[in-house]
Structure 1
């Protein structure tokens, strides 16, 4: 049976937020207040649509955006970890569930030659229209009250595991690697002995440590292993495969 690696992207695979990194391609490397103030809680994807429209209005080309996005730094040890996963595809499936978008993630993975490590990316679909403006849609709709309107990672992971099971693929262990508040929801559907790996010092680690008694019964089934470098995750993964 294979192992499943599930990664968040921003502040996990890469050491920054890809959606805010793109602002570096504007002449001022900043956004006007009217645009920043237009953000509504839980509606980040719609906000990013306005940001990319503004960048389009500045006549910033897709090539310029790509060149900037390719400079985002990977988190320490993540290139080594994903390279290891690339070399062990017979034992490891790997998916990304992210609130970024398809174009940014594809560019960033391709720039480091890491595309082959990742089997599926679940994120907000993005395209360039006939004006060369980048547009994006919400990944899906869902009923979860805890998550942003465009993405519930629990639903994505649950649907993926269900479709894999229907295809006869069952995982002996799942590792969920993330940093943010929206990475807590999917932890609730992991099975006994699965591993949640929160990045040290980030929101997910803090939320896990604050969980109330009811939720602790859920989490007692799981291994919680905080990390600072992808090399620590690699060590856990390598130990499982030997």
Structure 2
């Protein structure tokens, strides 16, 4: 019986949005208004595909993109949290579920030396084509009306837990740590023994408060807010008895 830590990436592990941070690789660090205004609700992934095509059109090399992405700041205390997890892999599993992309997340975790803490990353597949342009694809297809068309985090988590159970791995407690609106859906599959940890002042916390007020859908998990990684680490240490 292990403990599972589920982490969002943008504004959770890192203290910014990796998809907007990449714009810093452009000479004037900005996008044309026509491109910025093309983003539609629930279609962020498709928008990022257009952004990366524009960056490729400006002859920005993959190496230049990577050097910029590796400068994104980590949220205060998050590196220490990931180091603790990496030192306790016999009792703690850790996965990332994010609407970013495989390349950005891999680069950033590798540069910080904390990739060993993460067992699996579930995000949008990305690759560089023969021109050096980065292409971003949908993570999966789903029928959830609450989530972006390319990713339902609840479906990802449910499939992961089912596959782990088939391997004989059960979790006595899960911690779900996030900040955004797309982090609400997976909280509904958490149990009473689990903990959902919304970042203080961000969208997920506000949605959970509204959920409590409306009492439309029942949330079983305990809610603990956080501002720094040290607060998550405190809860995790108490859970595993360290």
TM range (shorter): over 0.9
Match of 2:58 in 1: 58
Shift of 1:222: 1.3
Match of 1:240 in 2: 239
Match of 2:123 in 1: 123
**1:134 aligns to 2:134 (yes or no):** yes
Runs of 4+ with >6 A deviation: none
Match of 2:148 in 1: 148
Match of 1:13 in 2: 13
- Segments of structure 2 that go 5 or more residues without pairing to the other structure are none
Match of 1:213 in 2: 215
SS of the residue aligned with 2:94? strand
Contact kept? 2:172, 2:193, Cα under 8 Å = no
User: What is the aligned-residue RMSD (CA, Å)?
Assistant: 0.6
Shift of 1:41: 1.0
The count of aligned residue pairs is 239
- Deviation string 1:34-85 (CA, Å, 9 cap, x unpaired) is 1111111111111000000000000001110000000000000000000000
Shift of 1:182: 0.5
- Deviation string 1:73-106 (CA, Å, 9 cap, x unpaired) is 0000000000000000000000000000000000
TM-score by length of 1: 0.98
Shift of 1:214: 2.8
Distance in 1 between residues matched to 2:44 and 2:111, nearest whole Å:
25
- Segments of structure 1 that go 5 or more residues without pairing to the other structure are none
SS of the residue aligned with 1:121? strand
TM-score by length of 2: 0.98
SS of the residue aligned with 1:54? helix
